[in-house]
Amino acid sequence: MLNRRQFLVCGAAATASATLAASPAEAAIHTRVERSVALHNTHTGESLKTVYWSAGHYEPGALRQINRILRDHYSGTIHQMDPRMIDLLFALQHRLGTKKPFEIVSGYRSPATNAMLAAMSDGVAQHSLHMEGKAVDIRLEGLSVRHLGRAARALRMGGVGQYPDSNFVHVDVGHVRYW
């Protein structure tokens, strides 16, 4: 049994260790009352700006809308995106200080679509995180791939790949790595 002082010390230590474990970007995400994201799918022409997190929880209706706009545009397959992926996009918009929508080049990819794209290009991973709803390829109007990639890398929230010839940046919530 802990006395009051021991309980408070343990609680403070747990809070401090959780804060230290989170990246500064993740810590900033968790201090927000609301989180919103603005997206424009370059293949379907659809746009969305929505509050996807408020009052301490993710908004199911907003997440469904996000899943739809990030669907596999080849097959129309909708897949649940990892909420951490949406948090990464929110953190990136916040870091860049913009309300402009991310232009979505690729969101979720079905295994069939990923296999087709991998057969056409060496730049598509056979076990892509796109197939798990954990990756998005983006661009932002008025911002170079280099600048967008640098901002994404600074978040340290996952993988970041820059593709200047194709004019997009890959971001994912896998291990922190860069290419």
Give the pLDDT confidence of 32-83 residue by residue, as tens digits: 689 999 999 999 999 999 999 999 999 999 999 999 999 999 999 999 999 9
Report the DSSP pairing between strands 177-178 and 159-163: parallel
| pLDDT confidence of residue 28 | 56
Residue 19 parent element (H or E): helix 4-21
Give residues with Cβ within 8 angstroms of 149, minimum separation 6: 160, 161, 162, 169
- Domain 23-178 belongs in CATH node 3.40.50.980: no
Give the pLDDT confidence of 82-123 residue by residue, as tens digits: 999 999 999 999 999 999 999 999 999 999 999 999 999 888
Give the pLDDT confidence of 11-43 residue by residue, as tens digits: 444 444 444 445 555 555 666 689 999 999 999
Amino acid at 128: S
| pLDDT confidence of residue 12 | 47
Amino acid at 149: G
| pLDDT confidence of residue 121 | 86
What is residue 66's three-state secondary structure? helix
Mean pLDDT of the chain, nearest integer = 88
| pLDDT confidence of residue 23 | 58
Query: Above pLDDT 90, what percent of the chain?
Result: 78
Q: Please state the separation of Cα 32 from the chain's center in Å.
A: 16
Domain locations in the chain as residue ranges: 23-178
